[in-house]
Chains A and B, each alone.
Chain A
């Protein structure tokens, strides 16, 4: 059974700091990995999707890397801003359809002005 773990569970940083969120998974036979953002009382917003054949994806100040063989992914946030405060979830899928995600428990990020 796939297990997804995110470390740390919570992180508080001052504005402007660069930071890294970690995600590990036990079964390396994945098709893709996604990072989501969840704001309080809201649904999830997809941030980045990495296919198993890729090593990383970038969107603005966000960069996600994937090392499938070691079962790890990192989400790098550059020059953090208070608006980045949210819970970040990673999820993996074993299917080529990208369906049926297995989620980690999330990292709650607070960026202090």
Chain B
């Protein structure tokens, strides 16, 4: 299994540009997440989804949008990129139904620089 796949791995954006970070998982996990990690810091939750068609804001959602049309895919959209969005972005997934729970699987990250 591939696990959680993120593309691209690196990207440089100019201020005001837009882009979509792609995330796909093949583990049939119902939960998916986007976190960002600034240098020397822990991860902060941007958005998450508990299943297809359902998304909700995390701690730092401003400047981002998400959609979850399928179980497998959870793209993150950046509109009007700003230098403050320079960060490493991680997609993750987990599974929880009733008493059954499987822990987090993280993608390898997308390093984004806004100049």
Closest Cβ–Cβ distance, residue A22 to chain B (whole Å) = 14
Q: Is the CB of B96 within 8 A of A98?
A: yes
A89 close to B107 (CB less than 8 A)? no
A98 to B101, Cβ gap below 8 A? yes
Contacts of B108 in A (CB 8 A): 41-43
A-B contact count (CB 8 A): 62
- Identify A105's interface contact among B31, B35, B42, B45, CB under 8 A: B42
Q: Dominant SS at the B interface?
A: strand
Q: Does B85 touch A at the CB level, under 8 Å?
A: no
| Size class of the contact patch on chain A | 20 to 34
CB–CB A89/B43 < 8 A: yes
Contact (Cβ within 8 A) A105 B96: no
B31 near A97 with CB under 8 A, answer yes
Q: Across the two chains, which residue of chain B brings its CB closest to A45? A: B106
Q: Please list the residues of chain A having a beta carbon within 8 angstroms of any beta carbon in chain B.
A: 4, 34, 36, 41-46, 49, 89, 91, 96-106
